[in-house]
Amino acid sequence: MKCSRRQIKAVLFDLGGTLVKTAEIPHVMKRILEHRGINRSLNEIFSAWKEVERGLNFRDLTTLLDEFWIQWNMHILSKLQINSNTRALAEFIATHWWDYCGVTLYPDAEKMLPLLKARGFKLGVITNGLRSDVNEILPKVNLQTFFDIVVVIDTLRKMKPDAEVFVYALESLQIGASNTIFIGDEVDADYQGAQGAGLTAYLIDREERVHDESLNKISSLEDLFKLKILNCVG
């Protein structure tokens, strides 16, 4: 990593897995079904979820938006042999998902976000989530008015790693790619997507799952200051 004369003015983040952590999908689904008087084991729900996930194209979110998750829920309910009022139950699950899903900031995010804000960096989120989801998540972690820009699937009907979503954020902030870093937890959507749009990318890998020495990696958001990343580019 070499220091550059380029001044970093903006720090953009992925949301889930980078700034916030949530309960695992099968656990949330089980809570909702139990609330509706339907009992299925965690193993049954996990198997149904994985089977449905293999057959879906998540890029359909760009056209279906919230309907995508309703259909996703209907597929899972079908695999679980729940056939009564399926559409209504699927809509209930989609609408009330975040009431049953614990959402918390990672401790390093809780510490670092206010510090970055205080030091004058423009901050933003680029997520492959829907506006309806983000509108539920950010208030739960008291960040609903924190960011200078939030880009969701609904914004452009596009998803990371499409370069357009990153370019849109830069243009909205009126900051160049060379003055911006992006941090995310997925290699394809986050790291390669940001790089493809000309941003300096960092992969946050808290559990050291990715063993690729060619990537700019951090294990905590605190590394932004410890490694002087905000004064350097890869």
What is the per-residue DSSP string for 9-30?
A: -EEEE-SBTTTEEE--HHHHHH
Per-residue pLDDT at 231: 72
pLDDT confidence of residue 1: 43
pLDDT for res 94: 97
Residue 46 in contact with residue 107, Cβ under 8 Å?
no
Six token digits for residue 109: 């995010």
pLDDT per residue over 135-163, tens digit each?
A: 999 999 999 999 999 999 999 999 999 99
Q: Which of 24, 45, 23 is nearest to 34 (CA)?
A: 45
Residue with tokens 């958001």: 221
Averaged pLDDT, groups of 10, the chain, 234 residues long: 67 98 97 97 98 94 98 97 95 97 97 97 98 98 98 98 98 97 98 97 96 95 92 56
Q: What residues does 125 pair with on adjacent strands?
A: 13, 150
Provide the pLDDT for residue 234. Answer: 44
pLDDT for 43? 98
CA pair distance 21, 106, nearest whole angstrom? 6
Alpha-carbon gap, residue 160 to 59, rounded angstroms = 10
pTM recorded for the entire structure: 0.94
Beta-strand (E) ranges in 139-178? 149-151
pLDDT the model gives residue 84: 87
The CATH number of the structural domain formed by 2-22+103-233 is 3.40.50.1000
Task: Residue 159: name the closest of 204, 193, 195 by CA.
Answer: 193
Q: Is the dihedral of CA 129, 132, 137, 138 positive or negative?
A: positive
- The token pair at 103 is 């959402």
